[in-house]
Amino acid sequence: MKVDACHLGGVLPRSEALIAAYRRLAEGRETYEAVKELARHETEGLLKLQKSLGMTYVVEGQLLWHDIFRPFSELLSGVKIGPLTRWFDNNLFYKKPIIVSNISRTTTILDKYLFTELVRGLNWKLILPDPYTFYTLSLNQAYRQWEDLVLDIAGVIADELRDLSDAQPALVQLSAPCYSSGRPKPDHVETMKEAFRKIKNSVDGETMIHLHFTDASNAIPWILDFPADIIGIDPYATNLDGLKGYSFRGSVAIGCLDARNSYVESVDDVKEVFEMVAESLGARSYHLTTSTDLEYLPKSVAEKKMRRLSEAYSALGGS
């Protein structure tokens, strides 16, 4: 079983200093520029750490993102910021996007929420919401056909990725827990696939669909037809028996480290989980990752997990 790559499964936690700065901002005692400067400084540190740990792809951290939808809710025409809503089975909440009219870009979005100057030239990974998940977790008050909304979201994301031009990521991870939180109808799958293809065609790098929080076996086998380079699996939420008997053409990223618990797995723990999942899958190659974003942990614990991921990658023969 070959482990080809190692990278973090999502966005990173803010430090207590950055949290405090955001609180001051909310209370009108801090400027956004000062908060952004602090976030930039932290991003530099996080990138440096990941590079020193030998991560195949580094994540930017996305410290400016309050939640995965917020940059789009704030800047897309046709979207309003809605009520606080539970983010899957976590004690974490996002603000539900409300689609009030057909969506369109009036400005570029990602460049305002990413420190592109820090990742340009790096083998970096960007985490974005998959369009079907975006649609499912929004409140649609405008589109008569849900398919049109999903495809419009995909179009926006594709355009945004194109506009990153020379700062484009080497890997785009579409976080897609709604793929596997239930079994979508077959006609839904075709729209989901078309949306995915739109995004795939907008980037030169690789694409990954990450099925975190939810049972990936719900998305098997239909997801295998998607032109994704990598499928991400959360083994802490997946019935591994349900993955047996299928052939995975691309790579599978296994979230061997539980990003929602502070228990720092030993290298042996990681190897055990890796082998358990890999035995069920029989994919051509594997990536080692965390089960989901690390923002569920305090920053100090997240960094311990990052180091352990790197150690486990070496122990599993990764370079």
Contact residues: another protein, CB under 8 A: 13-14, 16, 19, 22-23, 25-26, 66-67, 84, 86, 89-95, 235-241, 261-263, 272-273, 276, 295-301
Count CB-CB contacts under 10 A for residue 182: 12
Least Å distance between CB 166 and another protein? 32
Residue type, 109: I
Angle in degrees, 0-180, between the axes of helices 32-52 and 299-315, rounded to the nearest 10: 20
- When the beta carbons of 161 and 243 are compared against another protein, the nearer one is 243
DSSP 45-77: HHHHHHHHTT-SSEE---TT-SSTTHHHHHHEE
In contact, 164 and 99? CB cutoff 8 Å: no
- When the beta carbons of 117 and 272 are compared against another protein, the nearer one is 272
Least Å distance between CB 161 and another protein? 26
- When the beta carbons of 200 and 210 are compared against another protein, the nearer one is 210
Nearest CA-CA partner of 318 in 291, 295, 296, 285? 285
Give dist(CA 17, CA 42) in Å, integer: 10
Least Å distance between CB 223 and another protein? 20
Residue 81's DSSP bridge partners are 97
Least Å distance between CB 150 and another protein? 24
Host H or E run for residue 103: strand 93-105
Give dist(CA 24, CA 42) in Å, integer: 18
Name 146's Cβ contacts closer than 8 Å, sequence gap at least 6: 135, 140
In contact, 301 and 135? CB cutoff 8 Å: no
Give dist(CA 185, CA 74) in Å, integer: 31
